[in-house]
Amino acid sequence: MRSSVIKAKLARNEPVLLVCLNLHDPSVFELTSLMGFDGIWLDLEHHACSVETAAGLIRAARVGRSDVMARPGKGEFARLSRLLEIGAHGIMYPRCDSAEEAREVVDWAKFAPLGRRGIDGSNPDAPYCSMPAAEYIRRANEETFVVIQLEDEAAVDRADRIAEVDGVDVLFVGQADLSVLSGIPGEFGHPRVAAALEKVAAAARRAGKHWGTTSMSPDHTRHLLDRGASFICHQADILLVKRGFEQVQSQFAPLGFRFANALQGDQPGAA
């Protein structure tokens, strides 16, 4: 089983940077991993990605060095196990409500005695029955990381108890859902979001765990690092492509080129 870049860095108290890839093309995963990012966030909660597709994407990422952190939907514990078996190093679990639910996530992500994960061994993580069972179990427990998302104020209020769960490596504030559920959609600078970040940071510090969230910019990342965050997710491939195309259009429009950009409200045939 491959060693986790993220677990190794966190153990040295080094910050880690992940990017979100929503374009399900193996070349994008291979490219990102070869470029040396610490991790790739593969989202199966909101995006149309099957476990079979995820297997090919994670396989492509193994060409480089990046860990893959996969996010199933809330309560999808069978899918969680399959994502680990196809080679994900970490699980991001969304909408966690309590320490009891966090404990259940750990149970499905870790083998005994740390959890109750079922063993197969014939998939890429073992890999393919090439490791003795005892060694595989030990290595999998060492290298697999669990990220618990806190995405509403009630869950944030329980951050101390969730952080105390053995096997939880990272507390992660889901700022988007937190803002929506708090009635302040998209207001990431709102005092209620800031208060939630501070509560989670304090809970992680008291439990000796790591914490993180999404970052909007290098300056925002510095702000988070100064407050003890070490697990940073920044940017997504779809946004980078969109902004790149917008830059092309802004550069070529003065040369006389016209674009019917429906995302900006242009009508079909306007070009």
> Active-site residue numbers?
46
Q: How far apart are CA 92 and CA 7, in angstroms?
A: 14
User: What ranges in 94-190 are assigned the alpha helix state H?
Assistant: 99-109, 133-143, 153-157, 159-163, 175-181
- Token pair in block for residue 261: 């950009």
Q: How far apart are CA 75 and CA 81, in angstroms?
A: 12
Q: How many other β-carbons are positioned within 10 Å of the β-carbon of residue 150? A: 30
Residue 129 zone, left/alpha/beta (φ > 0; ψ -120 to 50; rest) = left
Which of 109, 110, 89 minimizes the C-alpha distance to 38?
89
Q: CB–CB of 156/196 below 8 Å?
A: yes
